[in-house]
Chain A
Amino acid sequence: GNSVTQMEGPVTLSEEAFLTINCTYTATGYPSLFWYVQYPGEGLQLLLKATKADDKGSNKGFEATYRKETTSFHLEKGSVQVSDSAVYFCALDTSGTYKYIFGTGTRLKVLA
């Protein structure tokens, strides 16, 4: 079946460090891939997306590339800030439908 696997957190980094949060998926067909972010006390917000192989999604300094050969969609940022502290969720939409399958989330904590 379809699934998303994320690296376990929490991930603790110093400000300006490089961030990678790993995400791999299993899916039939050609899903779209998403990263959502959840700040404390708030709802999930769409951070970036990619709809086909080799697409790169980017937003607010974050990037992720849809790698079909490795079934991965790793989230990266070159220099994190304290304000990036949040929970990050990788998700896919099962091909041809509107249902999302989410990973379990990775908590990021950035220290000043």
Chain B
Amino acid sequence: GAGVSQSPRYKVAKRGQDVALRCDPISGHVSLFWYQQALGQGPEFLTYFQNEAQLDKSGLPSDRFFAERPEGSVSTLKIQRTQQEDSAVYLCASSSRQGRNYGYTFGSGTRLTVV
């Protein structure tokens, strides 16, 4: 597609519920990133894929967070047993190459609200 597509745009989850957030990167982009943006804050790094390999998951806040990209294109960020502190906008970004010095293309994000 023309840009990075994320779905759903909005998700309301009851505390304890599992959620799955989807990211469709730009076709052919090998690098994919997930960021978490809390209200009034800048995005914070969660995890990085190069093709299907998850090369860095150091930003995932707990073992309730899991990300995958099994075929090197679409990625899913899963949050198990959601907590209120998980409420944030989750941003996906992609790049045609390792992005240092090049910048990334971001999606519009999924706003997750845990009630």
| Chain A residues packing against B (C-beta within 8 Å) | 4, 32, 34, 36, 41-46, 49, 51, 89, 91, 93, 96-105
Q: A89-B42, A102-B43, A103-B42 are in contact. Are A41 and B108 (CB under 8 A)?
A: yes
Closest chain B CB from A44 CB (angstroms):
4
Q: Shortest CB–CB separation between residue A77 and chain B, in angstroms?
A: 19
Check B42 against A4 for contact (C-beta < 8 Å): yes
Residues of B within 8 A of A105 (CB): 40-42
Tier of interface size on chain B: 20 to 34
- Provide the main secondary structure of the chain A interface: strand
Across the interface, name the chain A residue whose C-beta is closest to B50. Answer: A98
Query: Which residues 30-45 of B have a CB within 8 angstroms of A?
Result: 31, 33, 35, 40-45
Tell me which residues across on chain B come within 8 A of A104, comparing CB atoms. 40-42
Within the assembled complex, what's the spacing in Å between the Cα atoms of A101 and B48?
Answer: 14
Q: Are A44 and B106 in contact (CB under 8 A)?
A: yes
CB-CB < 8 A to A36: which residues of B? 103, 106
What chain B residues lie within 8 Å of A42 (beta carbons)?
A: 108
B88 contacts chain A at the CB level, 8 A cutoff:
no
A-B contact pairs, 28 of them (CB 8 A): A32-B101, A34-B103, A41-B108, A43-B105, A43-B107, A43-B108, A44-B43, A45-B105, A45-B106, A46-B103, A46-B104, A49-B101, A49-B103, A51-B101, A93-B99, A93-B101, A96-B100, A98-B31, A98-B33, A98-B48, A98-B100, A99-B45, A100-B43, A100-B45, A104-B40, A104-B41, A104-B42, A105-B40
